[in-house]
Amino acid sequence: MNNIPYLLALHSINGLGPVRLKAIIDYFKDPKLAWEADTGEFLKIGIPKPTTVRLEETRKNLDPPEFAENIKEAGIKWKTIFDKDYPFLLSQIYDPPIVFYYKGELENWDAPAIAVVGTRKMTGYGRAVTEKFTRALANSGLTIVSGLARGVDAEAHWAAVRGNGKTIAVLGGGLNYIYPPENRKLAGEIINGFGVVMSEFPPDYPSMPGNFPSRNRIISGLSKAVVVTEAAQDSGSLITARVAIEQGREVFAVPGPVTSDLARGPIDLIREGARAVFDPEEILEELGINKSQASNSKNQTRALSDEEKQVLECLQNETMHIDEIARALSWSSARIASTILKMEISGLVQNLGTGSYCKS
């Protein structure tokens, strides 16, 4: 494909989504010819009148080569569906992005990837589950895909970064406006050696609620499977999971406490045919991936001290506060605090906040 700056200029026009942009390219063959064409030609192929008016206004004020150069100067790269290294799985969905923008780097866009998504209002349980599953999946060589949103998305990205894995963050707006703002540091970490932050929206496009359903199709489109760790019944992550089913992807759901409203989303997915999973090894087995590189706490029990074994026994089937563990074992505060700290550093237990712990 020649004249890519003109493709980027067309892509910047609100109303020219992937389906309409594809129709334009199929009709004109060359994006420069399309950019310079009479708007009447656009009406012939079904482009709405308001969009052609925006095209006319944009052409008065935007120089495509300059526009493309400004994007480059901002450190933003792009891929088009005409590129040989465009992600294959993404190219196979119904309406793949004609163009997407990204910061960061991936050695192989077609390396096996898995989406980890869930609620923005994450509980301590959701944090522990997301960390456990994501770390094991990333350690097994899977690229972690999520949406950089608050809650489960952010925890999934952080878990991949902490585990020295690779991750793809798919935004619901342009790359010049990272949203939510508290995840800008996370975005920077990803860009600086742990993967890419990407968007199909032009760099200056704002992040708006209406953007997220289209963002979700990219999350699932890049992935071999989707894992939902914690979600309410109205969670946007369920849209990602259901789109994944439509795209022929595997969907896994982690059951949660029956007392929690955030366990209802995964349960609904399981009723719809998603596979219930209690351990990341089940996902890896289903996907045919060898877990030889992943950390496995079950293999660490031979090296545990007697005190650590007793604490893990207390946490075998439930979350407990540090004071409850001390009472159950008849230990002093100093003894339990010292043991728990060592176990947390070793990755044997996770602090869920407010002094509560669970097995990793």
Shared domain check, 212 and 248: yes
Domain membership flag for residue 93: no
Shared domain check, 210 and 176: yes
Shared domain check, 276 and 301: no
Residues 160, 162, 166: CA angle, nearest 5 degrees: 35
Domain membership flag for residue 88: no
Report how far residue 212's alpha carbon sits from residue 343's, in angstroms, rounded to the nearest whole number.
Answer: 39
- Mind listing the pLDDT tens digit for each residue in 31-52? 999 999 998 899 999 999 999 9
Domain membership flag for residue 292: no
In this prediction, residue 212 has a pLDDT band, given cuts at 50, 70 and 90, of confident
Domain membership flag for residue 104: no
Shared domain check, 183 and 254: yes
Residues forming beta bridges with residue 144, ordered by sequence position: 114, 167
User: β-strand 99-104 against 195-199: which pairing, if any?
Assistant: antiparallel
- Mind listing the pLDDT tens digit for each residue in 156-188? 999 999 989 999 999 999 999 899 999 999 999
Shared domain check, 169 and 67: no
User: Residue 278: what pLDDT?
Assistant: 93
- Mind listing the pLDDT tens digit for each residue in 296-326? 434 444 478 889 889 998 988 778 899 999 9
Q: State which H helix or E strand residue 79 sits in.
A: strand 77-80
* Dihedral sign from CA coordinates of 132, 154, 274, 166: negative
Q: pLDDT averaged over the chain?
A: 90
User: Of 252, 17, 235, nearest to 134 (Cα)?
Assistant: 252
Asked whether the beta carbons of 162 and 100 are under 8 A apart, the reply is no
Shared domain check, 51 and 159: no
Report how far residue 177's alpha carbon sits from residue 320's, in angstroms, rounded to the nearest whole number.
Answer: 40
Shared domain check, 272 and 123: yes
- Mind listing the pLDDT tens digit for each residue in 120-136? 999 988 999 999 999 99
Tell me what percent of the residues of the chain surpass a pLDDT of 70. Answer: 96
pLDDT at 140 over 60: yes
Query: In this structure, what CATH number is given to the domain that contains residue 346?
Result: 1.10.10.10
Torsion angles phi and psi, residue 20, rounded to 5: -70, -40
Query: In this structure, what CATH number is given to the domain that contains residue 56?
Result: 1.10.150
pLDDT at 77 over 90: yes
Q: pTM of the entire structure?
A: 0.83
Shared domain check, 305 and 272: no
Q: Which domain holds residue 7?
A: 1-73
